[in-house]
Amino acid sequence: MKAYWFDNQEGDQRLTHDSGREVEASYLAKLGVLYHHAPEVSTVDTIAKDRSYKNRDEITVSPSAMGDIYEDKVKSFFHEHLHEDEEIRYIRDGAGYFDVRSEGDEWVRIRLEKDDLIILPAGIYHRFTTDENNYIKAMRLFKDEPKWTPLNRGPDTDVNSHRAEYLQSRGA
Ligand code: KMT
Ligand code: NI
């Protein structure tokens, strides 16, 4: 895992976009974003149990796994959105970036590779992209009825109750 302020430069979303200014895991925690390095799957089992996650699956995001829809998928993952439930991703292979909005509404880019696990809280604005290698395999953990529908940022999401709860929990 490496986190840094996004450089806001034009160019392919899959480039590093590294401003050179690093972001500490402790700042991510202030945003409610929790990171774990988990080389053992047993660590993931413990996190899942503690947070009442009962199911999991694996997704591969790559042109060979997705075929013609790959480019559209990558574009749609990169639309800024929130979810009404938390999002846990455990990277099994490849790499990718989760961008999350800071307290000041700036992008923090989080690079994740194999054995990295991230928990994004419900209500945080974020987006995802693969990197230049166009390949990531990730485990997705979910509860019985995951509310993963991406709600694209707009007037409605700004007044979403999960968004309000998120901001309140951050002390914003
Ligand atoms: C997401 O939430 O955008 C995804 O699930 C993308 C694939 S998982 C790395
Ligand atoms: Ni999401």
> Looking at residue 69, which CATH number applies to its domain?
2.60.120.10
pLDDT (average), residues 57-73: 97
The HSE-up count of residue 138 (CA atoms within 13 Å, CB side) is 25
- The amino acid present at 132, given as its one-letter code, is E
Write the DSSP symbol of residue 134. -
Torsion angle defined by CA atoms of residues 35, 37, 40 and 44, in that order, rounded to the nearest 10 degrees: 0
30 sits in the region (left: phi over 0; alpha: psi -120 to 50; else beta) called alpha
Domain count, the chain: 1
Residues sharing a CB contact under 8 Å with residue 172, sequence separation 6 or more, in sequence order: 103
Alpha carbon distance 113, 96 (integer Å): 7
- Confidence check on the interface: ipTM exceeds 0.90, yes or no: yes
What SS3 class is residue 164? Answer: helix
Q: Which residue has the tokens 């099994």?
A: 92
Under the banding of pLDDT at 50, 70 and 90, the label for residue 43 is very high
pLDDT tens-digit readout, 101-150: 999 999 999 999 999 999 999 999 999 999 999 999 999 998 877 667 89
Q: Whole domain around residue 163: which residue ranges?
A: 2-169
Q: Of 14, 33, 89, which is best to mutate to test ligand 1, by the most ligand atoms within 8 angstroms of its C-beta?
A: 89
Distance 131 CA to ligand 2 centre (A): 17
> Relative to the alpha carbon of 89, which ligand is closest?
1
- Mean pLDDT of the chain, nearest integer: 96
Nearest Cα to Cα of residue 96 among 71, 62, 122, 66: 62
> Relative to the alpha carbon of 125, which ligand is closest?
2
> Which protein residues touch ligand 1 with a CB less than 6 Å away?
59, 61, 77, 87, 89, 96, 128, 136, 138
| Residues that constitute the known binding site for Fe(2+) | 81, 83, 87, 126
> Relative to the alpha carbon of 65, which ligand is closest?
1
Q: Of 59, 73, 77, 126, which is best to mutate to test ligand 1, by the most ligand atoms within 8 angstroms of its C-beta?
A: 77
